[in-house]
Structures are given as structure tokens and as C-alpha cells.
Amino acid sequence: MRKLLVLAAIICLLIGIAACISTPKKLTIGFVPSGSPEKMKVDFQPIQLYLEKTLGVKVDVFIPEDYLGLIEAMKNKKVDIGWYGAFSYIAAESQMKLDPMVIQSRYGYGTIYHSLIVTRSDSEIHTVEDLQGKSFAFVDKGSTSGFVVPMALFKSRDLDYEQYLGDTIFSGSHDAVFNDVMSKKANAGAMDDLTLGKKIDTGEIKVDDIRIIWKSNDIPGSPFVARADLNSKLKNRFKTAMIQLNQKAPAAIKAFDSKTEKYIPFEPSMYNEIRNIATLLGNDYIRTNFLQKK
């Protein structure tokens, strides 16, 4: 009888130790750098505090210098959950097993947005063919809608954009692309329809001021994805907390991104178009632009 009691005590002790090991006391969330790191941290803080209260664990925020920094941090288990852009997520899952959990749903757009090629309304450019030899503005090589998707367009037509276009510049943001086009620094440029829509809605420009010569297929929004080996209970609780965020802490969503209405469960089919583009561009493109130190 005594041996049974000792054995039971050992089993209980081992179960307790295992529980302590498997349940993290801290959750680190990483973000692809989409703006000033300081501002991103401030904007996310209301959600960070909401998650700490809801999950009962300390939440840290990590923002690297580039896309590769987040991918490496997750591979090395320094980051538990990552917030990626559409294409950087595809690059990340080529390096490790990930569990995508939620994706943003925007006011008026849902879970999708589009890449646009725009020019001024007084321009002689009306089609993609008219871009030959013209100056062109991209966002940066890590931007899904501001570079990857339009670049795939050129490749699908067997066009080397560096040879086909005139001078190309990387403006650094969607706002900057728009400004470069309107100021005639570039004849045309690639940007997202969210930025353009906001400028029209706020009256910054009129619809007649700009011409859209090409619009992409649907692009999915930015997902939160977890390492596959992260504690399953914590993953499920995080997913539930994010889905309930618009009901329990709507001001927190607005502080982080005023365009986001809510977060909804991730569906793999949302990324079919991006996976097709990744196949078209090939592994070398992903490796060069997302998996190598600049």
C-alpha cells in the first residue's frame, strides 16, 4: 500500500512539473516592421494589455528590423506568435511549421484588399502596355501589394520589369508612392486600394484626380500565426481572445489599426491566390527577398 502511495505521489509530482514546463508564463508577439517600431508598440499596447488580462500571462512585443528578423526569431523560439503580411507569411511557413489563427477583417473590405497600378488622370498611360519606358514607383521589395503582386504581373507577361519600365524608385510607403505619382516624380506606381480609398473618403483627392490602370485579384489581409509547437491551450485561448476583441475591447482594435473591424478565424483557402503567385515567382525570389540578410 505504501509503495502505491509513493508511486502516486511521484506521478502527481511529474504531472505538476510537466504542466509547469508546458504552460508558458510569457507570450511574445512579433510584428513585421510596417512603420516606426516605437509607434507600432504604442498602437498595439491596448491589445497587449487586453491579452495579458484575458490570457493571464505577460505579453511582450518584438519588432525586428526586417522580415527575416521575425522569421528567424520564430524559428529560434524567441517569438511565439507572429503578425505577418500576406507574402511574408508564405516565406515564413517555408521555414517552419506554423499554425495560422486569425486574420483581420477591414471595414468595407472584409479580409481582402487589392494591389493597384495608378497614374494621374491627365497622364497618357491607360494600360499596362503604356508603362513601357515610363518611370515607376514601388513601395519596397517586401510589400505584397506595393511590389510582389505587380512584379508577378510583369513576370506573368514574360516582362522583366527592370528592363520594361523606365527609372524605378522605391518610395518606402503606399502614401509615398501616391505622392510621387501625383507630384510627377514617377509616371505611375503600385499601391494598395486601402490607402487610395482612405484618401478619397477623407477628401484629400477626388476620384477624377487619378486613374487606375490595373487592379489585382483578391489579396488576403495580415494573419496572426503561432509556432506549431506552442502550447495548444495558449494558442486556443489567444485565438478566442482575438475573435472576441471587437466585442470586449473595440477601442483596442481602433488604436492598433482604425481600418480593422474585427479578427476572424483563418481559412487556408484565403491564401490560394498568394500561393499561386509564390509558385510563379519561385523559391529563389522568396529566398532572395525574404530569407537573406540585406
Domain edges within the chain: 22-109+221-290, 115-216
Q: Give pTM, 2 decimals.
A: 0.78
Structural domain 22-109+221-290, CATH architecture: 3-Layer(aba) Sandwich (3.40)
pLDDT at 228: 97
Residue 160, C-beta contacts closer than 8 angstroms, at least 6 positions apart: 154
The candidate with the shortest Cα–Cα distance to 164, out of 140, 143, 187, 135, is: 135
Give 67's Cβ-side CA count (13 Å radius). Answer: 24
pLDDT at 273: 86
> Do 22-109+221-290 and 115-216 agree at the fold level?
yes
CA 97 → CA 27, 100, 111, 226, distances in Å?
18, 10, 23, 9
Show the cell assigned to 243.
475573435
Backbone angles phi, psi at 26, to 5 degrees: -140, 145
Domain spanning 115-216: CATH 3.40.190.10: yes
Q: What is the mean pLDDT of each run of 10 residues along the chain (294 residues)?
A: 50 46 84 84 97 97 89 96 92 94 93 96 97 95 90 93 96 91 98 90 92 95 96 97 97 92 94 89 86 77
Question: How far apart are the C-alpha atoms of 265 and 14, rounded to whole Å?
Answer: 35
pLDDT at 133: 97
Backbone angles phi, psi at 178, to 5 degrees: -55, -45
Question: How far apart are the C-alpha atoms of 145 and 264, rounded to whole Å?
Answer: 22
